[in-house]
Structure 1
Amino acid sequence: MINQARQQAFANGIPALLAFLAPIFLVLASLLALWSMATPSLDEAAGIGDLIKGLLGDVYLMRAVGFTLLQASLSALLSSLLAIPLARALATRSFPGKTLILSLFGAPFILPVIVAILGLLAIWGKNGPIDQLVTAAGVKGFSIYGLGGILLAHVFFNLPLATRILLQGWLAIPSEQWRLAGQLGMNSRSIARHMEWPMLRERLPGTLAIVFLLCATSFTVVLALGGGPKATTIELAIYQAIRYDFDLERAALLACLQILLCAGLALISRLITQDHDTGESLGGSIARSDRASRLARMTDWSIITVALGFMALPLFAAFLRGIYGLVMNPVDLQALLPAIARSVGVALGACLVMGLISLPLAQISIHLKGKSRRLVELPGFAIMVAPPIALGAGLFILLHQHIPIDRLALPLTSLLNGLQAVPFALILLTPAMGQIKRDYGKQIRHLGMDRLTAIRLVHWPLMRKPIGLSLGITAALSIGDLGVIALFGSPTAPTLPLYLYQQMGAYRMDQAYGSGLILTLVAFAFFLFFDKGLAGRDQT
C-alpha cells in the first residue's frame, strides 16, 4: 500500500508509513495500558465472566453507563426529529439572508463549547429571560443543570448539523420529481410518502448515529451542566476517578467501557451511513405547489424564526455579557496573557499533528481502490473509537510514573486534539486530492515534474483552500477545547478555556463572560487566518 504512494506530493515512504501506523499504535498502546490497569486481579481462577459480574454489580459504574446511553439517545432523537421540519422549511423557502443563516448554523461547530454554554446559561439559566417568563406565568422554573440542560445544550450543538445533512437530502431530490408532483396535483401527504420518506429513511439512521456518537463522547457539556450523581457520564466518571480520587483502576475500567461503546457506535455508524453528495451549495430551494398556501408559509416561517432565535440568542447574550464583563471588570493580564499563549501553542501543535497525519493518509487513499482503500480508514477508525478522555487516561497510566504529567500537559493536549481533527480533515482533503489526480495527474507525469515542483505549481495552489479550512477548524476546536486539558492541565498554568472554567467554578461569572468573549475572538481569529488568509483567493 505504501509503495503505491511513492513520489506523490504529500506521501512518500517513511512519512506515509508513520502517518498510517502512528494513530493505530497510539490507540493500541493506550488500550493495552488501560486493560492491564483495569484487570489486575484477573488470574487463572478469575476470568472474564467474573469481571462481567463485577461490572454489572457496580452501581455507580452502571449508573454512568446508563446515563451516557440515555442522554445520547434522547439528544440524538431530539436533534434529528427537530431537524426534519426545519430542513424542509429551509429547503422550501427562498429569502435574502438564507446563506447567512446557514452560516450561523455552522457557528456552534467552531464556537468554543464552554462559551456556548455561557450563552445558554445567560438565556435559560436562573434569572435569565426564559426563567423570568415562566416564573411570571406561575410555572415552576426550568433548571438548566442536570439532564434537561444537557439535552438543551446537545440540541443547540447538533440541531444545525442534523439540519444541514437533511437539507442536503431535500435538495438532492431531482427537480424533475418536484415538477411531476406538481403536475399530478400530489398533496403534502402523498409527497411525504413517496418522495420525502424514502430520502429520510436513507439519511436519518446515519444522522442519528453521528449525533449519538457525538453526544456519547461529550465531556464539556456534562462537566459544566451535569456532574451530580444522577448526571454523570462515563467520560466524566473517568475524569473524576483520575483528578479527584486518583483511582486509576476504576478510571481504566471506565475508559475500556467507553472505547468499547464508541467502537460499537462507530461500526454501526459506518454500516448504516451511506455515502451522499455533500456539496457545499445549500442555499437553493425547491418549488412545491403543496406548500404554497398561507398556512404552510406561516408554519415554515415560524419554524425558521424559532430555530434562528434558539441559535442566535445565546450567542448574542454571550457577546453582550462578555462586553459588560470586560468593561466592569478589568482584565487580569498577568493571568490572561499566559493562558492565551498556552492555548495558541496547543492549537499550533494540534495543527501540526493533523497535517502530518492527514495529508499523507489522504494522498494514500486516492491511489487505492476497493477493499485496499478500506485499510486507509483504519487510523481514522482507531481515532474515532478512542475518545480524547479515554485515550488521555491510557496515556496518563503509561506516563505518570515516569514523567511529571504537568510537564506533558500541553504537548499531550496538542497531540490528542490534532488526532481528533484527522477524520474531519480527511473529509475535506481526500476529495480535493482526488480531483487533482483526475485533472492533472497525467500532465504532471508527462511533464516529468519532480515532487517539489508539482507541489509548488499544482498541488499547493489547488489545495490551499481545503488545507486552510482543515487548519482553521483544527485551530478553533483546539483553542476552545476543555476536555483533554482538564485531565492533564495544572490549575496554576491553565489554558484559556480552563482559566474560564475556573472563573465559573469560583462564581466570578462577569469575569467568565469577559474571558469567554476573548476566547471566542481568539478562536475565530485563528479560524479566519487559516481559512481565509492561508487559502487566499479562490482558484479558477
Structure 2
Amino acid sequence: MYKEAKIPAFGRGIPALLAFFIPLILVAASLTALWSVTADSLDGLNSKEGWILSSLLSNVYIIRAIQFTLMQATLSAVLSTALAIPLARAFATRQFRGRTAILSLFGAPFILPVIVAILGLLAVWGKSGPIHTGVTSMGLGDFSIFGLGGILLAHVFFNLPLATRILLQGWFSIPAEQWRLVAQLGMDSRSIARHVEWPMLKERLPGIFALVFLLCATSFTVVLALGGGPKSTTIELAIYQAIRYDFDLDRAALLACIQIVLCAGLAVIFRLISKDHDTGQSLGGTIVRSDRSDRTARLSDGLTITMALAFLGFPLLAAFTRGIYGLLQHGINMGDIAPAILRSITVSLGACLVMLVISLPLAQLSIHVRGKAKRLVELPGFAIMVAPPIALGAGLFVLLHNHVAIDDLALPLTSLLNGLQAVPFALIILTPAMAQIKNNYGRQIQHLGLEGPSAIRLIHWPLMRRPVGLCLGITAALSMGDLGVIALFGSPSEPTLPLYLYQQMGAYRMDQAYGTGLLLTALAFAFFILFDKGLGGRDQT
C-alpha cells in the first residue's frame, strides 16, 4: 500500500520546532510585557492615585486615535473596493496591446518603497504639483494633500491595484460557458450584472474589503508622512509618538493592546468571509460580451483604464524624474548615504533569512498534517497577522529597554520584525507549491528511496526555487523600503536609507530626498529582480 514520503529535513525536527515556536514566543512575550504595563496603569487608575487626572487628555487622545483609525480604514477600503469593480471589469472584457504591461505596472506599488510613493504623490498632488495648481487656479479651494484626504489618496494608490488584481481573477473564474450562454440568450448588461457578475462579487468583495481595511488600519508610513497633525493620528502613529517623543510606555502599551485586539478581530473576520466562489467546471475560453461591444461601452472601459493608469503612473513618473533631477543637481554624498545603504541591505538580508527559517518548515508541515493538527500548524502565521510590526515592536521595546540599549539592537530587531511580517505572504506562495510537489512526486520520491539532502537537491529545490525566489524578492524589497520599525528602534544618527530619506523630507531638502528615493527604489527593485529572476530563474516545472 502506498505510504506518503517522509517530510523533508527542513520541515521536521529542530527547524520545525524553531519555525513553530519563535513567532509564538515573540508574540506571547510582547503581549505579556504590554499587558503588564497596561494592567499596572489600570490598577493605578482604580486606586485613584492621581493617574486618572494626569491621563485624562491622553484618554481623549486615545479615543480620537481609535476613531480616526477606523474611519480612515473604512473609507480607504470602500474607495479602493468600489473603484476596483469597473476597473477589473474593463481589464477582463478588453484585450488590447500593452494590457500585460499595464497589469504589471499594477504590481509596482506593492514593491515600491512606501516613502518613495509618497514622494511621487507629493510631486503630483502637493502644493507645488499640477493638481493643486489647477484646483487653486480655478478657484475651487486650497486643496491639501496632508490630512485625511492625503491619507485616503495614498491608501487608494496602494490598494486599488491589489483589489483590482483579486477581482480580475474573480471575473476570469466565471466559466466561459456562462458567457456563451449569456450571448445566446441575448441578456442585457443589467441582467448579466444580476445573474452572472453579482454572485461572484458578493463572494469576493467582503474579503477584499476586509483585507484592505486591515492593511489601512495598520498603515504607519502613510500616516506619518501625510497625517498633518493630531486630528489625523492613527493608533500605530500614536504608539510611535508615545515611545519616541513622550517616552510614555503606559500609553504606548495600552495603544498596542488595543491595536492587537483590533487586528485579531479583523483577521478572524477576514478568515471567515474570504471564501472563493464556486463557479463550477469550465472548458476555458476568453470573455466575450456582446452587451459591451458598442462604442459607448468601449469608450467607458477605455476611459476607466486610462484614468487608473494616469492615477498610478504619474506619481511613479514624477518620483523618477524628480529623482534624476535631484541626483544631477546635488549629486550623492557617499559619506552620509553609503552607511545608510549598507544598513538597509543588512536589514533586508536579515529579514529574508528570518522569513525562510519560519515559512519553509511551516509550509511543509501544513501540507503533511490534517484535522485539528493543521489548525495548530497555522497558529504561528495567525499570531503574526494579529500583531502588527509597530504593536509587536512596542512590546519588545517595553520588554528590553531596561536591560539593553535599544539603539544597539535596532537593525536585528528590524530584520526580525520585517521577516516575521513577510511570513504570511510567503506561506500563501510556498504552501501550494509544496502541496503540488507532494501530490505529483510524493510516490516517486518514496519509490526511489530519496530522503534528506538528496530529495531536497534533486526534487524539492529544482521545483521550489521559483516560489522561494519570489518570496525572497518580495521580502527583500519590502524590508528595504520599511520605515515603520526602524523609526521606532533606530537612532537618528545611524539611519537606514528610508529613515535617511524621511530626515531629508523633514528638513525640507526635497530635491535631495527625491534623489535618495530614486536610489532606494533602484535598490528595492534590484534585490527583487536578483532573487525573483536570478535565484528563481525560469519555471522549472
Residues in 2 aligned to 1:330 and 1:460: alpha-carbon distance in whole angstroms: 43
Residues 201-259 of structure 1: per-residue CA shift (max 9 Å, x gap): 00000000000000000000000000511100000000000000000000000000000
Structure 1 match to 2:8: 8
Structure 2 match to 1:70: 71
Residues 137-191 of structure 1: per-residue CA shift (max 9 Å, x gap): 2211321000000000000000000001111111110001111111101000000
Q: 2:315 is aligned with what amino acid?
A: P
Shift of 1:285: 4.9
Shift of 1:436: 0.5
Residues in 2 aligned to 1:127 and 1:200: alpha-carbon distance in whole angstroms: 40
Residues 120-152 of structure 1: per-residue CA shift (max 9 Å, x gap): 000000020111211222211321000000000
Residues in 2 aligned to 1:207 and 1:426: alpha-carbon distance in whole angstroms: 19
Residues 298-356 of structure 1: per-residue CA shift (max 9 Å, x gap): 00000000000000000000000000000001211001010000000000000000000
Residues 83-135 of structure 1: per-residue CA shift (max 9 Å, x gap): 00000001000011111111100100000000000000000000201112112
Residues in 1 aligned to 2:371 and 2:90: alpha-carbon distance in whole angstroms: 39
Q: 1:456 is aligned with what amino acid?
A: R
**Pairwise CA RMSD of aligned residues?**
2.1
Q: Is the 8 A contact 2:8 2:456 kept in 1?
A: no
Q: 1:310 is aligned with what amino acid?
A: F
Alignment of 1:419-458 (within 5 A): 419-458=420-459
Structure 2 match to 1:212: 213
Residues in 2 aligned to 1:435 and 1:290: alpha-carbon distance in whole angstroms: 39
Residues in 2 aligned to 1:142 and 1:42: alpha-carbon distance in whole angstroms: 43
Q: 2:38 is aligned with what amino acid?
A: A
Q: Is the 8 A contact 1:112 1:520 kept in 2?
A: yes
Shift of 1:377: 1.4
Shift of 1:31: 0.5
Q: 1:82 is aligned with what amino acid?
A: L
Alignment of 1:181-330 (within 5 A): 181-275=182-276, 285-330=286-331
Structure 2 match to 1:493: 494
- Structure 1 counterpart SS, 2:8: coil
Residues 43-69 of structure 1: per-residue CA shift (max 9 Å, x gap): 59949xxx9999999211100000000
Q: 2:139 is aligned with what amino acid?
A: G
Shift of 1:371: 3.2
Residues in 2 aligned to 1:22 and 1:37: alpha-carbon distance in whole angstroms: 23
Residues in 1 aligned to 2:383 and 2:112: alpha-carbon distance in whole angstroms: 26
Q: 1:36 is aligned with what amino acid?
A: S
Residues in 2 aligned to 1:43 and 1:82: alpha-carbon distance in whole angstroms: 47
Residues in 2 aligned to 1:363 and 1:422: alpha-carbon distance in whole angstroms: 13
Shift of 1:451: 1.0
Q: 1:9 to 1:55 in 2, by over 3 A?
A: farther
Residues in 2 aligned to 1:441 and 1:227: alpha-carbon distance in whole angstroms: 56
Q: 1:230 is aligned with what amino acid?
A: K
Structure 2 match to 1:281: none
- TM-score, structure 2 normalization: 0.95
- TM-score, structure 1 normalization: 0.95
Q: 1:473 is aligned with what amino acid?
A: I
Structure 2 match to 1:23: 23
| Greater displacement, 208-217 / 133-142 | 133-142
Give the percent of matched residue pairs that are identical in Structure 1 and Structure 2: 74
Structure 1 match to 2:399: 398
Q: 1:81 to 1:7 in 2, by over 3 A?
A: closer
Structure 2 match to 1:505: 506
Residues in 2 aligned to 1:504 and 1:44: alpha-carbon distance in whole angstroms: 41
Q: Is the 8 A contact 1:11 1:359 kept in 2?
A: yes
Residues in 2 aligned to 1:235 and 1:7: alpha-carbon distance in whole angstroms: 40
Number of residues of Structure 1 aligned to a counterpart in Structure 2: 530
Q: 2:148 is aligned with what amino acid?
A: L
Matched, 1:163 2:167: no
- Structure 1 counterpart SS, 2:438: helix
Residues in 1 aligned to 2:234 and 2:118: alpha-carbon distance in whole angstroms: 18
Residues in 2 aligned to 1:473 and 1:494: alpha-carbon distance in whole angstroms: 22
Where does structure 2 lack aligned partners over 5 or more consecutive residues? 279-284
Structure 2 match to 1:280: none
